Amino acid sequence: MTDPDARQGRDGRGNGRSVANPLREGLRLERMPEPCTMVICGATGDLTERKLAPALYNLMLGGFLPPEFTVVGFARRDLDADAFRQHLRESIDKYSRNKPAKESVWESFAKGIEYHQGNLDDPQAYVELAKRLERIDRDRGTAGNRLFYLAVPPKLYPEIVEQLGEAGLAVHRGHDGGKQGWVRVIVEKPFGYDLASARALNRELREVFSEDQIYRIDHYLGKETVQNLAVFRFGNGIFEPIWNRRYIDSVQITVAETVGVEGRGEFYDQTGAMRDIVQNHGLQLLATFAMDPPVEFRAQDLRDEKVKVLRAVKPVGYNQVEDQTVRGQYVSGWVEGAKVPSYRDEPDVAPDSETATYVALKLAIDSWRWAGVPIYVRTGKALTTRVTEIAVQFKRAPLALFARAGNPVIEPNVLAMRIQPDEGILLRFGAKVPGQGLNIRTVNMDFRYGSSFAVDSPDAYETLLLDAMIGDASLFTRDDEVERAWEIIDQVLQAWANGEGGPLHFYSAGTWGPPAADELLERDGREWRRP
Ligand code: BG6
Rounded Cα gap, residues 362 and 282, in angstroms: 12
Residues 286 and 402 placed together within one structural domain of the fold: yes
Specify whether 383 is located in the same domain as 236. Answer: yes
Which pLDDT value is given to residue 437? Answer: 82
The answer to whether residue 175 is catalytic is no
Check pocket membership of 481 for ligand 1, CB cut-off 6 A. no
Which residue among 188, 212, 236 closes a domain? 188
Residue of 172, 175, 281, 505 with catalytic role: 281
The whole-number pLDDT of residue 103 equals: 95
Where are the alpha helices (H) located in 313-448, listed in sequence order? Answer: 321-324
Q: Could you tell me if residue 212 is inside a domain?
A: no
Choose the residue to mutate in 220, 254, 257 for probing ligand 1, maximizing ligand atoms within 8 Å of C-beta.
257
Neighbours of 297 (CB within 10 A): 17
Burial of 174 by CB count in 10 Å (0-12 exposed, 13-18 middle, 19+ buried)?
exposed
CA nearest neighbour of 508 among 404, 397, 336, 384: 384
- Quick one: 177 and 262 in the same domain? no
- Distance, CA 397 to ligand 1 centroid (Å)? 38
Shared domain for 281 and 418, answered yes or no, is: yes
Does residue 163 sit in the same domain as residue 233? no
Query: Rounded distance, CA 169 to CA 251, Å?
Result: 45
- The rounded Å distance from CA 72 to ligand 1 centre is 26
**Strands (DSSP E) along 24-152, which ranges?**
37-41, 70-75, 113-117, 146-150
Q: Going from the first residue of the chain to its last (531 residues), give the mean pLDDT of each consecutive group of 10, the final group possibly shorter.
A: 37 36 42 93 95 97 95 97 97 94 94 97 97 95 96 92 95 60 94 94 95 96 92 95 98 97 91 97 97 93 96 98 98 96 97 98 98 98 97 92 72 95 94 89 92 89 96 95 98 97 98 98 96 87
Using alpha carbons, select from 326, 308, 307, 304 the residue that is nearest to residue 316: 326
Of 253, 281, 346, 359, best ligand 1 pocket probe by most atoms within 8 Å of the beta carbon: 281
For residues 102 and 110, give the distance between their C-alpha atoms in angstroms, rounded to a whole number. 12
- Give domain status of residue 6, yes or no: no
Atom of ligand 1 nearest to the CA of 280: 3
* Domain boundary, last residue among 163, 188, 213: 188
Distance of CA 381 from the midpoint of ligand 1 (Å): 10
Among 5, 35, 33, 43, smallest CA distance to 136 is for: 35
What's residue 173's pLDDT? 61
- Residue 507 falls inside a structural domain: yes
Residue nearest to atom 13 of ligand 1 (CA): 220
305 lines ligand 1 (CB under 6 A): no
Residue 494 lies in a domain: yes
Same-domain check for residues 421 and 501: yes
* Best residue among 95, 219, 253 to mutate for probing ligand 1, ranked by most atoms within 8 Å of CB: 219
Q: Which domain holds residue 284?
A: 222-522
Euclidean distance between CA atoms 9 and 351, whole angstroms: 48
What sections of 96-176 are H helices per DSSP?
103-111, 123-140, 157-166
Residue 423: CB within 6 Å of ligand 1? Answer: no
300 and 433 together in one domain:
yes
Q: What CATH number corresponds to the domain at position 513?
A: 3.30.360.10
Find out whether the beta carbon of 276 lies less than 6 Å from any atom of ligand 1: yes
State in Å: Cα 438 to ligand 1 middle: 46
- For residue 218, give the ligand 1 atom closest to its CA: 3
Q: Are 91 and 46 in contact (CB under 8 A)?
A: no
- C-alpha 428/C-alpha 356 separation (Å) is 33
- Residue 256 alpha carbon to ligand 1 centre in Å: 10
The confidence score (pLDDT) of residue 5 equals 38
Between the CA of 285 and the centroid of ligand 1 the distance, in Å, is 14
Question: Considering only CA atoms, which residue is closest to atom 14 of ligand 1?
Answer: 220
Q: Whose CA is nearest to atom 15 of ligand 1?
A: 257
Residue 32: per-residue pLDDT: 83
CATH number of the domain that residue 94 is part of? 3.40.50.720
For residue 210, the CA-to-ligand 1 centroid distance in Å is 28
- Compute the C-alpha angle 425/430/436, nearest 5°: 140
Alpha carbon of 276 to ligand 1 centroid (Å):
8
**Minimum CA distance residue for ligand 1 atom 5:** 276
Same-domain check for residues 302 and 401? yes
Cis check: omega of the bond before 154, within 30 degrees of 0 = no
Angle of CA points 346, 281, 251, to nearest 5°: 110
Whether ligand 1 lies within 6 angstroms of the CB of 257 is answered as yes
Nearest CA to ligand 1 atom 2: 276
The confidence score (pLDDT) of residue 16 equals 37
- CA distances 243 to 205, 239, 389, 528, Å, are 37, 6, 17, 20
Same domain (yes/no): 154, 301: no
CA atoms 142, 145, 151, 157: torsion sign: positive
Instruction: State whether 53 and 129 are in the same domain.
Output: yes
Which atom of ligand 1 is least distant from the CA of 261? 8
Q: Are residues 142 and 238 in the same domain?
A: no
**Within-domain flag for 279:** yes
Q: Examine the domain organization and report whether 184 and 226 are in the same domain.
A: no
Domain count, the chain: 2
Which of these three, 136, 164, 188, is where a domain ends? 188
What is the CA(265)–ligand 1 centre distance, in A?
14
Atom number, ligand 1, closest to the C-alpha of residue 460: 14
Tell me, yes or no, if the pTM score tops 0.85.
Answer: yes
Cβ atoms of 116 and 76 closer than 8 Å: no
